């Protein structure tokens, strides 16, 4: 069964460092997303990406965040200068149709720990 | 924007009993209501969803009901089994925004 894969599964970084989280969405999906889950809290929408551009972003997704689809398969989330409060589990998701009305397939997440 | 409230935060039931988790939403334009199950160390996985043109949907032991007037929807799990133990999230979407808005989750514990 096709699945969304994410790397790394866990990354520890120092405050102020840049981090790149990587995702390989399901191959025939057109919509890509990043969500964040701070430990014990709800899953929060960060950004959606369609047709090689950001289609929507939340208030959390400030200038420190960026996304890219550098080739036909990878979808990355970059945090330019990490802060302590960026510590969370980051989930990549993809869908065939817009994720607000169709099934989202989530990866297993990348846990980011900022020290 | 959309706001989704979910209750209870923790639910413990005896194996074989039923479990009900309830959610409310604020944006009357939302028209898609999925439920996700998250097992420890894994990403959320869709278990059932309902659209606003339907009041109830059932899939084996799992059912979801939607009351658009009251803006609430519920997940019902019957004949609970140990493998049902997980965190369950409700979500709302389709109100013009791309992303889903999730509830805070319910930790369902099935007691043997």
Q: Give per-residue pLDDT as tens, A55-91.
A: 999 999 999 999 999 887 899 999 999 999 999 999 9
Rounded to a whole number of angstroms, the distance from the CA of A16 to the nearest CA of chain B is: 27
Interface probe with B: pick from A39, A42, A51, A67, most Cβ of B within 10 Å: A42
Q: Is the pLDDT of residue A99 over 70?
A: no
Asked if A30 has any chain B CB less than 8 Å from its own CB, the reply is no
Residue B98: which of A99, A107, A109 has the nearest Cβ? A99
* Longest distance between any two alpha carbons in chain B, whole Å: 43
Cβ A23 vs Cβ A107: under 8 Å:
yes
Going residue by residue through chain B, which has 112 residues, state the pLDDT in tens, using 9 for 90 and above.
889 999 999 999 999 999 999 999 999 999 999 999 999 888 899 999 999 888 999 999 999 999 999 999 999 999 999 999 999 999 998 877 778 899 999 999 999 9
Q: Given this model, what pLDDT does residue A70 score?
A: 84
A44 with B103: Cβ contact below 8 A: no
Percent of chain A's residues with pLDDT above 90? 79
Tell me how far apart the alpha carbons of residues A13 and A21 are, in angstroms, rounded to a whole number: 12
- The number of residues in chain A equals 115
Closest C-alpha to A42, from B11, B13, B88, B2: B88
Rounded to the nearest integer, the mean pLDDT of chain A is: 92
Q: How confident is the model at residue A41 (pLDDT cuts 50, 70, 90)?
A: confident
Q: How would DSSP label each residue in chain A?
A: ----EEE-SEEEE-TT--EEEEEE--TT--EEEEEEE-TTS-EEEEEEEETTEEEEE-TT--TTEEEE--SSS-EEEEESS--GGG-EEEEEEEESS-TTTS--EE---EEEEE-
Interface probe with A: pick from B43, B52, B57, B103, most Cβ of A within 10 Å: B43
Q: Given this model, what pLDDT does residue B94 score?
A: 82
Residue A43: which of B51, B89, B94 has the nearest Cβ? B89
Q: Give per-residue pLDDT as tens, B36-57.
A: 999 988 889 999 999 988 899 9
Tell me how far apart the alpha carbons of residues A1 and A26 are, in angstroms, rounded to a whole number: 10
Q: Given this model, what pLDDT does residue B52 score?
A: 83
CB interface of A with B, residues 93-112, below 8 Å: 93, 98-109
H/E segment holding residue B58? strand B56-59
């Amino acid at each position: 069964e096709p699945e969304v894969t994410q790397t790394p599964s866990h990354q520890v970084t120092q405050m102020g460092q840049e981090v790149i989280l990587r995702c390989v969405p399901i191959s025939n999906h057109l919509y890509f997303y990043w969500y964040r889950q701070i430990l014990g809290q709800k899953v929060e929408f960060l950004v959606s990406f369609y047709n090689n551009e950001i289609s929507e972003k939340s208030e959390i997704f400030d200038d420190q965040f960026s996304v890219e689809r550098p080739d036909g398969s990878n979808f990355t989330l970059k945090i330019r200068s990490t802060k302590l409060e960026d510590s969370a589990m980051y989930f990549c998701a993809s869908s065939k149709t817009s994720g607000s009305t169709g099934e989202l397939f989530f990866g297993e997440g990348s846990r980011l720990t900022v020290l | 924007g959309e706001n989704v409230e979910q209750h209870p935060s923790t639910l413990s039931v005896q194996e074989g009993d039923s479990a009900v988790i309830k959610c409310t939403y604020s944006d009357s334009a939302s028209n898609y209501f999925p439920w996700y199950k998250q097992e420890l160390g894994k990403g959320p996985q869709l278990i059932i969803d309902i659209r606003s043109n339907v009041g109830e949907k059932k899939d084996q032991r799992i059912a979801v009901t939607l009351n658009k007037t009251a803006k609430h929807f519920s997940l019902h799990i019957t004949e609970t089994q140990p493998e049902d133990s997980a965190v369950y999230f409700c979500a709302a979407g389709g109100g013009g925004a791309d992303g889903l808005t999730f509830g805070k989750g319910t930790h369902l514990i099935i007691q043997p």
